[in-house]
Amino acid sequence: MFKAPYLLFLGDAPDRLAAKMAQGIYDWRPESAVGQFRMKDCNVDLGITDLSIQDAVAAGAKTLVIGIVNRGGVISESWKSVLIEALEAGMDIASGLHNLLRDEPDLVAAAEKAGQKLYDVRVPSIQYPIANGKKRSGKRCLAVGTDCSVGKMYTTLSMHREMKKCGMNATFRATGQTGILIEGDGVPLDAVIADFMAGSIEWLTPDNAEDHWDLIEGQGSLFHASYSGVTTALIHGGQPDALILCHEPTREHMRGLPEYQLPPLEALRDLSLRMATIVNPDCKVIGISINTQHMEEAEAMAYLNKVEKEMGLPTIDPFRQGPSRLIEALTCV
């Protein structure tokens, strides 16, 4: 979609949380970031070179990526002069903010004049097809969760990185705005029109080499009343050969739904597999990824061991331990 390498724009980010988009890109694609641009009241430092717009272009930057999320997701007026300078200097701009670049007339005019592009990754840029359900070549792995935001993206990104390191043939397939900003491409599934959801995922994960794996970023949860339709479309459009179950064990209720408890991993396994086998009878659940960030090391290890014994599947925290055991399991599919 948009071109690497990037200049990561941190603007006037007050803290690390506000700069989490930039941090995500730098964590997962350090080779794509030529440097950072910080305005004078920025309180965050990613630890890479500070570059002016002109220096960034000289260093080869093709796209300025807005790596800051402020309250309300708006494009601050104070950023405008920098953004316009970047367009004039020959960079495109990419953003995942609610406030779309295309809705800012001054940016649209500057981009047009400079012959540069504005990429709003939060909204679909193409008309996706309706899914046809046909079997595609190559292999696909999808992360599914007991809830939203339990580590599905982290799991697939870490698997992808490790697979590339081992020389395996794999692609990370982003389905949400952070993932798209990291990968530079993908489908903003939550913004796709209902009829085209599964088709957009078929489009995202086309025929491929027999040894190729798509690592598909999960969204929502089959058990989450607000977003389960999105998850279903992801399973049926993605036609996974392998499923990874993702879970965050300290959460007290489903995200945003105080009346709902998280389902047990057994329930996630059974329902996800039931849905997946409708489109791929050979699909298997191959492992479990647990987000233990709110547990002490000893507690986390004990929990991982307990789940592994109960479920009979490789169970790891990819942040603590790396994803190697999931990849081993994948190679047996």
User: Cβ distance 240 to 141 under 8 Å?
Assistant: yes
Question: d(Cα 167, Cα 160) in Å, to the nearest integer?
Answer: 11
Per CB under 8 A, 227 contacts a copy of itself: yes
Residue among 212, 182, 205 nearest 330 (CA): 212
Residues near 3 by Cβ (< 8 Å), separated by ≥ 6? 62, 63, 92, 184
Question: d(Cα 329, Cα 333) in Å, to the nearest integer?
Answer: 7
- Per-residue H/E/C for 244-300: EEEECCCCCCECCECCCCCCCHHHHHHHHHHHHHHHCCCCEEEEEEECCCCCCHHHH
DSSP assignment letter at 190: G
Per CB under 8 A, 232 contacts a copy of itself: yes
Residue 254 or 326 with smaller CB distance to a copy of itself: 254
Positions in 256-315 near a copy of itself (CB under 8 A): 256-257, 259-260, 263, 271, 274-275, 278-279
Per CB under 8 A, 230 contacts a copy of itself: yes
Stretch of 46-54, 67-75, 151-159, 225-233 contacting a copy of itself, by CB under 8 A: 225-233
How far, in whole angstroms, is CA 135 from its chain's centroid?
Answer: 24
Question: d(Cα 167, Cα 222) in Å, to the nearest integer?
Answer: 33
Question: Is residue 119 within a helix (H) or strand (E), and if so which, with residue range?
Answer: strand 118-120
Stretch of 10-18, 141-149, 233-241, 287-295 contacting a copy of itself, by CB under 8 A: 233-241
CB of 157 to a copy of itself, least distance (A): 22
By CB under 8 A, name the one of 74, 109, 166, 193 that touches a copy of itself.
Answer: 193
Show the CA angle centred on residue 229, arms to residues 228 and 231, nearest 5°.
65
Residue 274 or 306 with smaller CB distance to a copy of itself: 274
Per CB under 8 A, 203 contacts a copy of itself: no
Residue 241 or 317 with smaller CB distance to a copy of itself: 241
Residue 37 or 223 with smaller CB distance to a copy of itself: 223
Residue 188 or 318 with smaller CB distance to a copy of itself: 188
Question: d(Cα 263, Cα 253) in Å, to the nearest integer?
Answer: 10
Per CB under 8 A, 237 contacts a copy of itself: yes
Positions in 66-125 near a copy of itself (CB under 8 A): none
Per CB under 8 A, 195 contacts a copy of itself: yes
Residue 232 or 324 with smaller CB distance to a copy of itself: 232
Per CB under 8 A, 194 contacts a copy of itself: yes
What tokens were used for 39? Answer: 């305005």
Residue among 204, 209, 139, 145 nearest 173 (CA): 204
Phi, psi (rounded to 5 degrees) for 257: -125, 80
What tokens were used for 19? Answer: 């700069």
Per CB under 8 A, 40 contacts a copy of itself: no
> With CB under 8 A, what is the number of residues at the site for a copy of itself?
41
Positions in 148-177 near a copy of itself (CB under 8 A): none
| Residues at the site binding a copy of itself, with contacts judged by CB under 8 A | 130-135, 189-195, 197-199, 222-223, 225-234, 236-237, 254, 256-257, 259-260, 263, 271, 274-275, 278-279
